[in-house]
Amino acid sequence: MARRKTPPRLIHPDPIYQDVIVSKLINHVMERGKKSVARKIVYGAFALIKEKSKKEPLEIFQLAMENISPFVEVRSRRIGGATYQVPVEVKGNRKFSLALRWLLGAARSQKGKPMAQKLAEEILLASKKEGTAFRKKEDVHRMADANRAFAHFA
């Protein structure tokens, strides 16, 4: 029996930039409910971005998110005993969620630096269409392109 869909949660904009996207970034950076620590990391990263690029950090962050947001991805689909990787268009919030996940994964995988510095570097690289997170998007697109023959199973 189908249940009713839960309504999306209202996320309040962050106190400094008054932006919901930055607030979501803070929530994704947060571990074990320590939001103040997450805020220090994100705002520290934005300060480093402003210092290095001499541009508005919010604009650079939004450009980076656009550059690493995927358009297609592959989904496993079982048909007649065989499993196919079927390319599917990425819709809505999933595009943003994947981009954030890849950005933070790339920043966390670096070693030996403070998290704010790693996050700032990864955002700057993503805004220039470089870095680990952008490479991840390219890999996903390449995988979807390679499996284009199975698109009719979608």
Q: What does the domain layout of the chain look like in residue ranges?
A: 20-68+94-146
Answer yes or no: are the C-beta atoms of 12 and 84 closer than 8 Å: no
Confidence of residue 86 (pLDDT cuts 50, 70, 90): confident
Residue 152 is predicted with a pLDDT of 76
Q: Which of 135, 132, 128, 140 is nearest to 110 (CA)?
A: 132
Q: Which CATH number fits domain 20-68+94-146: 3.90.870.10, 1.10.3720.10, 3.30.930.10, 1.10.455.10?
A: 1.10.455.10
Tell me: pLDDT of 94 over 80: yes
**CB atoms inside a 10 Å sphere around CB 132:** 17
What value does the mean pLDDT of the chain take?
92
Segment 16-73, tens digit of pLDDT: 999 999 999 999 999 999 999 999 999 999 999 999 998 999 999 999 999 999 999 9
CA dihedral 146, 147, 148, 154 (to 10 degrees): -160
Average pLDDT estimate for 67-89:
89
Instruction: Give the pTM.
Output: 0.89
Q: Counting beta carbons within 10 angstroms of the beta carbon of residue 110, is it exposed (0 to 12), middle (13 to 18) or buried (19 or more)?
A: middle
CB-based contacts of 151, cutoff 8 Å, min separation 6: 86, 87
Dihedral sign of CA atoms 70, 37, 34, 46 in order: negative
